[in-house]
Amino acid sequence: MSTTSTGASRRPAGVYRLRGTVWRVTENDEGGLKVEVLTDGLWVPGPIGMVGLRLDRSTTRLTQKAIDSLPV
């Protein structure tokens, strides 16, 4: 769990892959969601609309082993 600049804690909600794009979704204590996209080995802010891509049939939720092997 990490802490935001406002002091709210964030819980990982999942790391996903779709057509070569890897992104993660985190949730704060109030239920707010944040999306970050893996770009050149760094997690950068992503569009909140990517949250819905978790439901796409082609999206894969990464296992812990796959997450550990990401270039970060």
| pLDDT tens-digit series, residues 46-71 | 999 999 999 999 999 999 999 999 98
Which positions ≥6 away from 24 have C-beta within 8 Å?
12, 13, 14, 15, 16, 35, 36, 38, 43
pLDDT of residue 28: 87
pLDDT of residue 35: 96
| pLDDT tens-digit series, residues 15-44 | 999 999 999 999 988 889 999 999 999 999
Helix (H) or strand (E) holding 68: helix 64-68
Q: Who wins on pLDDT, 26 or 9?
A: 26
pTM of the model: 0.78
